[in-house]
Amino acid sequence: MKTLVGFIAILLALAWGPAHAEKPAPRSDEVVSDISTREIAIKSNFAGIEILIFGSVDFSARAAPDKASYDVIVVIRAPGQELVARRKQRVAGIWVNGPGETFPAVPGFYAVLSTRPLRAITSEETLKSLGIGLSNLDFGRRVHDDPGEETFRSAVIDLKERQRLFQEQDDGVTFVGRSLFRASVDLPVNVPIGRYTAHVYLFRDGVLVSKNQSTIAVNKVGFERLVYLLAFRYPFIYGLIAVVVAVAAGLIGWVAFRRE
Amino acid sequence: MLQIYLPIAEISVNLLVMLGLGAAVGFLSGMFGVGGGFLLTPLLMFSGIAAPIAVASGANQIVATSVSGALAQWRRNNIDFRMGNVLIAGGVAGALVGVFLLKELREAGQAGLIISLTYVALLGGIGALMLGESVRAVRRARAGKPTGARRPGQHNWVHGLPLKMRFPRSRLYISTLPPLAIGAIVGLLTAFLGVGGGFVMVPAMIYLLRMPTNIVIGTSTFQIIFITALVTILHASFNHSLDVVLALILAAGGVMGGQFGVRAGQKLRGEQLRLLLALLVLAVATRLLLDLVLRPADLYNIAPLLAGA
């Protein structure tokens, strides 16, 4: 409900905004966008969050809008992480992690939302050059003639898709009227922290005409942030505190339940 | 829906389920007089928490329960502090080795496997021994024969070893090597499995060192505090695998469950208790073994590379 109200408010702002803006008129169709939540706080009650990306296509450069077809692709991406993928194999009747493949930069989160299937919007080459789509993801290394690496690559994509950390939605972007569009993305509970980027691409008859970029900060806050920072920056002190807390808990338990 | 986000495990768990898990294990440990870590760590693993995090957080939880336990034992004058210190000295060595071994294994992607395998071997072995022993005891009780009592003052090979020390509280004059070795093995198990190790230490001290049973239990609880505390700090420092929120929830549940377990345990007979515990231990071992042997649903798995500690 809250997001809906925010959405309507921004829609109004967008509808009114351009008329009052004193910016010089853009030379071609331009896309502007914003995100419902720019700061995502991971607290103890965090169970995932839905964010809304919305925007509008500015036709003000065009005297009379033509019949061209417009498409929008939204790409949300978290910073890359070094990841190792392993395949289990049977050794003496037991399933054991076999040799693996290391990928230096796998996005911790990656979502592609579009008005239509990606390949219906534009050519494979354009998608590839922009790095749009799960199959065009750059994991920091790519050796095309190594079939083994390809298998591990698709396994990583498959696992991440099942964890909802990779998402591809053909109908994720919907136009509201002629120039306004919206897209919603579910960030699952296991999203990594970091500065995410949201790219919005506007295609006109399959040609990229405008793009727009913004960022989303995903951070642990409050107690969760404190625990996380302590655990990774001052691990010894963190361990010591954990022991002191446990000893205190044990003392409290002893006093509370002591049978005289 | 009381979901709570665990900051280090980075998953959201149900607060009531985790409290219940802590309470259930606390109940069992109160009932059977064992620490319960050997049940808690596998149960955490079954509920989707990564094995190294289950181990470190389990060890932290045991600090809390063993402090309560040791205080109660100390009031009854059941702790042999000199023996405890020897056990701790051995335990520190074992724990150091265990933590670094686990770190190496985690980097090689084999930590989960080795933890599971060790559990299967240990729980399978101990469960089978307990089952055999308690079935015999139940039969003997049915036949009306007296249960075989231990004769004190018996000597075995342990008493021929050098470096002897006097332990007045236990009324023993024995070599320090066996307690050091027992301590080291228990320290290794604590670091590796997130258990207190009482289920290994108690029989070893009773049958090998011939210590009086009441002092064995008090002394092992005393030793467990220090080794689990050390393991907690070491895992936090070198493996970043300690989730203090998880540990606290489990400890809260465990303290509550333990109280009811003690009362329930007093209503059941010793042989029946041991039989139940043996079946429980075997059930956990079987489940872990099945996970290793059955073809996994996912052949592939991914893990982040550990950032250099």
Distance from C-alpha of A20 to C-alpha of A102, rounded to nearest angstrom: 52
Mark whether A79 and A134 lie in a shared domain. yes
Contacts of A236 in chain B (CB under 8 A): 233, 236-237
The reply to whether A140 and A245 lie within a common domain is no
- Give the pLDDT score at A31: 87
The reported pLDDT for the residue numbered A81 is 86
Judgement on whether residues A145 and A50 belong to the same structural domain of the protein:
yes
Residues A150 and A195 in one domain: yes
Q: Are residues A120 and A110 in the same domain?
A: yes
Q: Can you list the alpha helix ranges (DSSP code H) found in A37-109?
A: none
A45: confidence class by pLDDT, cuts 50, 70, 90: confident
d(CA A138, CA A152): 14
Residues A256 and A135 in one domain: no
Identify whether residues A23 and A74 lie together within a single domain.
yes
Contact: B5, A47; criterion CB under 8 Å = yes
Which backbone phi and psi does B53 adopt, to 5 degrees?
-70, -40
Do B113 and A87 make contact, defined as CB atoms within 8 angstroms? no
Are the Cβ atoms of B229 and A247 closer than 8 angstroms?
A: yes
Write out pLDDT tens, residues B130-151. 888 888 888 887 777 655 544 4
Residue of A223, A247, A257 with shortest CB distance to B67 = A247
Instruction: Let me know whether A143 and A257 are in one domain.
Output: no
Q: Is the predicted pLDDT of residue B32 greater than 80, yes or no?
A: no
Across B17-43, average pLDDT? 83
Mention every residue, 6+ apart, whose C-beta is less than 8 A from residue A80: A104, A105, A106, A107, A108, A139, A140
Evaluated on CA atoms A122, A124, A125, A130, the torsion sign reads positive
In a domain, B197, yes or no: yes
**CA–CA separation, B40 and B304 (whole Å):** 25
**Distance between CA atoms of residues A46 and A50, nearest Å:** 12
Note down the domain range covering B205. Answer: 3-78+92-141+187-293
A96 — pLDDT class (breaks 50, 70, 90): confident
- Which residue in the block uniquely carries the two structure tokens 């994509």? A157
In whole angstroms, what is the distance from residue A76 CA to residue A113 CA?
9
Looking at residue B103, its pLDDT comes to 87
- Is residue B119 situated within a structural domain? yes
In Å, how far is A155's CA from the nearest CA of chain B?
6
Least confident of A23-27, A42-46, A227-231: A23-27
Cβ–Cβ gap B296/A93 under 8 Å:
no
pLDDT tens for B147-160 read 554 445 556 677 67
A158 and A237, same domain (yes or no): no
Mean pLDDT of chain A: 83
> Would you place residue A23 in the very low, low, confident or very high pLDDT band (cuts 50, 70, 90)?
very low
| Contact between B251 and A254 using a beta-carbon 8 Å cutoff | no
The stretch B169-196 carries a mean pLDDT of 89
Query: Could you say which residues from 18 to 57 on chain A have a Cβ atom under 8 Å away from some Cβ of chain B?
Result: 42-48
pLDDT at A80 over 60: yes
User: Would you place residue A25 in the very low, low, confident or very high pLDDT band (cuts 50, 70, 90)?
Assistant: very low
Asked if residue B242 is part of any domain, the answer here is yes
Quick one: tokens of A129? 């050059």
| Chain centroid, CA B139 distance in Å | 29
A190 in contact with B, Cβ within 8 Å: yes
Please tell me whether residue A172 adopts helix, strand or coil conformation.
coil
For the segment A219-231, the average pLDDT, to the nearest whole number, is 89
pLDDT-derived band at A8 (thresholds 50, 70, 90) equals low
Q: Is residue B34 part of a domain?
A: yes
Are A162 and A173 in a shared domain? yes
pLDDT value of position A20 = 46
Nearest residue on chain A to B299, judged by CA atoms? A88
Say whether residue A157 is in contact with chain B using an 8 A CB cutoff: no
**CATH number of residue A85's parent domain:** 2.60.40.3880
In this predicted structure, what is the pLDDT of residue B235? 92
B65:A155 CB<8 A: no
Does B84 fall in a domain?
A: no
Q: Please compute the mean of the pLDDT values over residues A19-47 and round it to a whole number.
A: 73
pLDDT (mean) for A204-210: 88
Q: What is the pLDDT of residue B94?
A: 95
Judged by CB atoms within 8 Å, which residues 222-251 of A form the interface with B? 223-224, 227-228, 231-232, 235-236, 238-243, 245-247, 249-251
List of chain B residues whose C-beta atoms are within 8 Å of the C-beta of residue A155: 300, 302
Q: How far is B159 from chain A (nearest CA, A)?
A: 36
Answer whether residue B47 shows pLDDT above 80. Answer: yes
Residue with tokens 């205080």: B71
Distance separating alpha carbons of residues B66 and A243, to the nearest angstrom = 12
The DSSP symbol for A40 reads E
**Spatial CA neighbour of A214 closest among A30, A73, A53, A14:** A53
Radius of gyration of chain B (CA): 20
Closest by Cβ to A246, choosing from B4, B64, B307? B64
Sign of CA dihedral A95, A96, A97, A99: negative
- Structural domain containing residue A106: 2-220
In a domain, B177, yes or no: no
How many separate domains does chain B show?
1
DSSP state letter for A122:
S
For residues B60 and B9, give the distance between their C-alpha atoms in angstroms, rounded to a whole number. 15
Residues A212 and A260 in one domain: no
- Using DSSP's 3-state secondary structure scheme, residue A66 falls into coil
> Amino acid identity, residue B27?
F
| Averaged pLDDT for residues A29-58 | 87
Task: Give B156 to chain A, closest Cα distance, Å.
Answer: 38
The secondary element (H helix, E strand) that includes residue A95 is: strand A94-107
Over A229-249, what HEC string results?
HHHHHCHHHHHHHHHHHHHHH
Structure tokens of B302? Answer: 């991914």
Residue A190, token pair as written in the block: 């296991």
Q: Which of B68, B109, B244 sits opposite A97 (nearest CB)?
A: B109
Residue to test with chain A: of B62, B68, B226, B292, most A Cβ within 10 A: B68
Contact B52, B241 (CB under 8 A): yes
Residues of A in contact with B113 (CB under 8 A): 94, 96-97
Q: What is the reported pLDDT for B1?
A: 62
Which pLDDT score, from 0 to 100, does residue A22 have? Answer: 43
Q: Rounded to whole angstroms, how far apart are CA atoms B271 and B133?
A: 9
Looking only at the bridges linking them, the beta strands covering A166-169 and A110-114 are: parallel
Please give the tally of structural domains in chain A. Answer: 2
